[in-house]
Amino acid sequence: MNGTKKNYSVAVVAGDGIGPEVIAEAKKVAEAAASSEGASFEWVEYPFGAAHYLKTNEILPESALVEMGETDVMLLGAIGDPAVKPGILERGILLTLRFFFDQYVNLRPAMSLPNVPTPVPLTERMDSVVVRENTEDLYMGLGGVTQDGSCDLDMTLERGGYSLRGRLQLAMTPGMPFAAQVALNTKYGASRIARYACETAKKRGESRVTIVTKANAAPALYGFFEQVAKETIEAEYPQIEWDLANVDALCYHLVRKPTAYGVLLCPNLFGDIVSDLQAALAGGLGTAAGGNIGDGLSMFEPVHGSAPDIAGTGRANPIAAILSGALMLRHLGLDASAAKVEGAVSKYLAQTTKSGLPHEFGGEASCTEVGDFVLRHLD
Ligand code: NAD
Ligand code: IPM
Ligand code: MN
């Protein structure tokens, strides 16, 4: 993307729970920051989420996907609501968007922020990043449940770079209910995310990528991911060294020393889990920004979900969404605006009294007040 275009169209799915609350703050801050670079946004709002689904039975029509594809970038709050069976909206909206636009990178920086209490004392700033493969692994959506002990599952799948055809026929003796979910990692998927992890390390001025694995328990699935990642790094990035961390031990080491890692290259499922752990270590899910990045439409969203337990109370922390807005600005080439937003978040947190912090960080500021504080610290 280049920074010469001055008006950008942004598809917005604010979604469920605290999604609309935090996205309102992210938009307000991004808009103010970008205006100083002479840039503006046309927000193209979409209603998809639980309320829309319960009212109309519509999840996410193909026509909307096509229309979204015409925009420059996308911003998403969160999807998921206790009134809808888990998976229907998360798969039907969030994962569909990631797969449809082939957003193969889920970039999730974990950074400690000034004045934000962390559960484990930090001896230095935490500045790490999860580079999560975002289209494969256990997330393929191939599977089913049987009550009678046999199943015949369709394994048909269309993805950005390939199509899959086939069936999985299984019979259990004695017949009993069981579930099967097929995970896949391809050379195509693992090598492109390994490349992105190396590029991320280079941008950070680092020479190490940690491949997060579990080849000891699932040698086919994760041994393959690990092997492809190693080969890609060795063949294409001689200046980058790889090391390996089993995901269980990684969690252990992270809690004991949250600053021990830089770039964590993760298969999809481990990246999901490790990014929540990293967020907690940095001070809370409200710190954690994210981007779903591909060669087409990219989508920026906080790591957290719809937080139904605090939705509507004003206690949601919008910083993760505001920082996701900064990632979006940088993606559009508005680097100065992005830096301005990140700087304003840091300045506000460094200068505020304890009560001016978001509830999540032990303060009393509402979601809107936090957005206003950040706005006031943009220079
Ligand atoms: P969650 O991330 O919504 O919440 C976990 C905990 O963190 C809750 O106690 C919540 O109150 C707190 N929290 C999260 N974000 C916060 C914020 N910005 N400020 C303050 N506190 C915050 O995870 P969950 O409870 O497992 O999921 C709730 C719903 O969200 C489910 O339907 C789930 O599928 C969905 N979900 C969606 C996304 C997404 O859209 N990207 C991500 C994760 C979960
Ligand atoms: C996330 C979420 C999603 C994921 C869910 C809601 C499908 O947890 O964005 O981290 O697992 O990727
Ligand atoms: Mn998650």
Task: Please name the amino acid found at residue 331.
Answer: H
The per-residue pLDDT for 3 is: 46
Kindly give the distance from the C-alpha atom of residue 277 to the centroid of ligand 3, in angstroms, as a whole number. 10
The ligand whose atoms approach the alpha carbon of 359 most closely is 1
The ligand whose atoms approach the alpha carbon of 75 most closely is 1
As a whole number of angstroms, the distance between CA 45 and CA 328 comes to: 16
Torsion, Cα 295 299 300 303, to 10 degrees, reads -100
Kindly give the distance from the C-alpha atom of residue 273 to the centroid of ligand 2, in angstroms, as a whole number. 9
Using CA atoms, how far residue 266 sits from 7, 136, 187, 246, 286, in Å, is: 35, 11, 14, 10, 22
Q: Which of 310, 315, 376, 314 is nearest to 349 (CA)?
A: 376
State pTM to two decimals.
0.97
The per-residue pLDDT for 86 is: 97
Q: Specify the DSSP element, H or E, that contains 179.
A: strand 178-184
Kindly give the distance from the C-alpha atom of residue 68 to the centroid of ligand 1, in angstroms, as a whole number. 25
The per-residue pLDDT for 4 is: 62
Which residue owns the Cα nearest ligand 1 atom 26? 305
Which residue owns the Cα nearest ligand 1 atom 43? 305
As a whole number of angstroms, the distance between CA 16 and CA 207 comes to: 40
> Is the CB of residue 25 below 6 angstroms from any atom belonging to ligand 1?
no
Atom of ligand 2 nearest to the CA of 95: 7
Low pLDDT (below 70) residues in the chain: 1-4
As a whole number of angstroms, the distance between CA 127 and CA 337 comes to: 21
> Is the CB of residue 90 below 6 angstroms from any atom belonging to ligand 1?
yes
Kindly give the distance from the C-alpha atom of residue 275 to the centroid of ligand 3, in angstroms, as a whole number. 7
